[in-house]
Amino acid sequence: MFKSPFGVYSNLYYISRWFPLKRRGLGWPTCNKLYADHNCIASCGLIDSQLEIVLDMRGCNLDCKYCWCWKMRQASGIKKAPHEVVRDILCRIHQLALDNKISKSKYRFGVLRITGNEPLLQWGHLTQLMLILNDKKQLGEIYSDAKLAEILVNSNSKLIIETNGVLSGMRKIDFYPLLKLKNLKIDIDVSFKGVNPAQFNWLTDRPKSWFHYQIEGFRLLFDFAKDNRLKNIGVNPVLGINHEPNYCLYFKEKRYIMEVEIIDEKGERLDFEDYSKDFLNIVLSRKKLRIDEAPFREYSGINSERTKQVVAVRYMGKRYLHMLPSEILKLEGNNL
């Protein structure tokens, strides 16, 4: 077994992760119970009609106003060795397979997502974790059900790592462990916080110069995978925060649709096509920006007061500046 650094993970469980399952009549309430009872760090969700297992790592080098994981950053967290994390993953996949409703549905496990704050801050732990996931023999030693190892490394499953790319751009991580991961299909999603230095600075409260590190981080990762012909590894630029033109909210058992804007310090809607020259020449010349990944959501993990700094909502012909959708429904509650 690898002797390697412990990783620090969130000890908060976001119920919203399995809401997509619940909406399809599956629910799987045991997910939360397992999480609490067993000090498990693997939560579950649904993406592109596939069941996903999600690991939320703690710690971040940015301070985004709209941070999905703000509460997670404040919590104490759980320390786990790589083999313990793998055991949690395999246990969660096993429990999904045993669930009667899910087994009768069309949904099957297909994605392991490592996200949270900034996973690359724990690169030593993360690389050891990936080396175990890549090794069927070690997977079998950790968990008795050998079939689960096949599920993790088969061609229909993939690992997604979500990063802001800054540490990669600062050249503070070693890419070479990726060369050893021949059995894993991996997507590395570099989450851009805006498309120019001014947007980056406003959204993250970090220097404009750091936007260059995001660009350079993406370039280095993309070119490393390309130059080494790592066909199993895809590096993707993703817009890390986006507008939501059809935000759905329920109030008094009724459904309401709003438009959520991400705004600048003057209250004007940010233009996420106002690309800087470097962004155009370095990022978009290599791959198309994915903008459907992170539309606005009023998650339970956000810091509401900071989030409101970057949000405006249009509803029923009115524009509400620095208000969340839930606040608008409460404000207009008597008229609804």
Domain limits of the chain?
Answer: 7-243+272-298
Identify the helix (H) or strand (E) that includes residue 113.
strand 109-116
State pLDDT tens for residues 288-308.
999 977 788 888 788 999 999
Average pLDDT (186-198) is 97
Question: What's the pLDDT at 155?
Answer: 67
Q: How far apart are CA 301 and CA 192, in angstroms?
A: 20
Query: Higher-confidence residue: 230 or 5?
Result: 230
In the structure encoding, which two tokens stand for residue 157, read together? 């499953």
State pLDDT tens for residues 44-68.
888 878 889 999 999 999 999 999 8
State pLDDT tens for residues 85-97.
998 888 888 887 7
Q: Can you give the pTM of this predicted structure? A: 0.92
State pLDDT tens for residues 6-48.
999 987 777 667 777 777 877 655 666 656 666 778 888 888 7
- The angle formed by the CA atoms of residues 83, 118 and 173, to the nearest 5 degrees, is 80
Question: What's the pLDDT at 259?
Answer: 95
Q: How far apart are CA 270 and CA 296, in angstroms?
A: 13
Query: Quick check: helix, strand or coil at residue 166?
Result: helix
8 Å CB contact between 161 and 130: no
Sequence letter at residue 215 = I
pLDDT-above-90 percentage for the chain? 54
Helix axes 82-98, 123-133, angle to 10 degrees: 50
Predicted confidence (pLDDT) at residue 325 exceeds the cutoff of 70: yes
Strand ranges inside the chain, DSSP E: 7-9, 42-47, 50-57, 78-80, 109-116, 158-163, 186-192, 233-239, 244-251, 254-262, 311-315, 318-321
Query: Higher-confidence residue: 242 or 144?
Result: 242
Query: How far is the CA of 231 from the CAs of 31, 70, 77, 120, 228, in angstroms?
Result: 34, 35, 35, 21, 9
Number of C-beta neighbours around residue 334 at 10 A:
6
To the question of domain 7-243+272-298 being in CATH 3.20.20, the answer is yes
pLDDT-above-70 percentage for the chain? 91
